[in-house]
Amino acid sequence: MIVSRQVYSFLKIVECGSISRAAEQMYVSVPALAQQIRLLEEEIGTPLLVRSHSGVTPTPAGSLFYDEMLRVTGDVERLLSRIQALALQQEPALTIAYRSSFDQALLYEAFTGYQQRYGRPLITYPCTIDQTLQHVADKRADACITSLGRNARASGLRLVPVLALEPWLSVPAGHPLAQKALIEPEDLAGMELVLPQAGQYDNADALTEQLDRLGVPYKVARVMGGIESDLYCIRHHACRLTVLPSPTPELVNRPLHADARYTICFAYPPALEARVRDFALMLTECGKKRAAELHQKPVDPI
């Protein structure tokens, strides 16, 4: 194994936010997985995770290690696939960058379905949301699955909309909004919203634009990072906006009646139209099926 098992274990733990959940998904025991992390921290020389009763969160060093190792493992997988394709005289693999927290049912069906139907090599390249477009620009990936539609268009990439989800507002159980069945934008007046930094998520930017149009006063505590930083902020702020196909277990979730749909798109350079066409068709097929399962409206064409 070119990349150590401890590294892959660390990535899975951060993705799951819990050692026990990661152990369950990896079919290993919790003590064995915890021991791998201890060995990794000893080798690096600094703690990578902060343990608590609600799960684990990466330390600053752990966050840096997570981001960089996502890139490294993606590079390694792409290299191995190209070497194997060369040995078998196959066409080069199609490399797709994506954020690992995207809808897993959608991604799994698209990735496996493409290879089964077309018999072509495919490399899936998990990374952070802000890295999806950058990896395409750097030619680490041929294309990406992203929620940064605005930025993708500004970069000259072509977009294929795949799945659009209605937004959910997640709040602590004791919050007044937890008593409402449906949240209107006007209900957020004077609230402090925990949102990603401007330009990270189209839906979050669309919400603040809508509040501005309505003249609804609000405060925004912008954060950068994944679910771990969001969960940290929920413990220190009134509420946060989250866009999920299903409720977050530890929070009270209510649908938000706002013009801020979360659209997952397939983005690629125009020059790769012929290479990515089959995968784009497979991905949109899976998106339609997933939307029906989630009782969502069909995706809007771009």
Domain locations in the chain as residue ranges: 5-61, 91-163+263-293, 167-260
Lowest mean pLDDT of 35-39, 183-187, 197-201, 226-230, name the range: 226-230
Domains 5-61 and 167-260 share a fold: no
Residue percentage of the chain with pLDDT more than 70: 85
Angle ∠(260,292,282) on CA atoms, nearest 5: 95
In tens, the pLDDT along 47-67 reads 999 988 778 889 999 989 998
Q: Compute CA distances 12 → 76, 104, 122, 302, whole Å.
A: 17, 14, 21, 34
pLDDT of residue 198: 76
What is the number of other CB atoms lying within 10 angstroms of the CB of residue 62?
A: 23
- The larger pLDDT score, comparing residue 84 to residue 136, is at 136
User: In this structure, which topology does domain 91-163+263-293 adopt according to CATH?
Assistant: D-Maltodextrin-Binding Protein; domain 2 (3.40.190)
Sheet of 192-196, strands arranged across: 219-223, 192-196, 239-242, 168-171, 252-255
CATH code for the domain defined by 5-61: 1.10.10.10
User: Has this prediction a pTM greater than 0.85?
Assistant: no
CA–CA separation, 144 and 142 (whole Å):
7
The pLDDT score that the predictor gives to residue 89 is 58
d(CA 100, CA 266): 15
- d(CA 94, CA 77) in angstroms, rounded, equals 12
In this prediction, residue 282 has a pLDDT band, given cuts at 50, 70 and 90, of very high
Q: Which CATH superfamily is domain 167-260 in?
A: Periplasmic binding protein-like II (3.40.190.10)
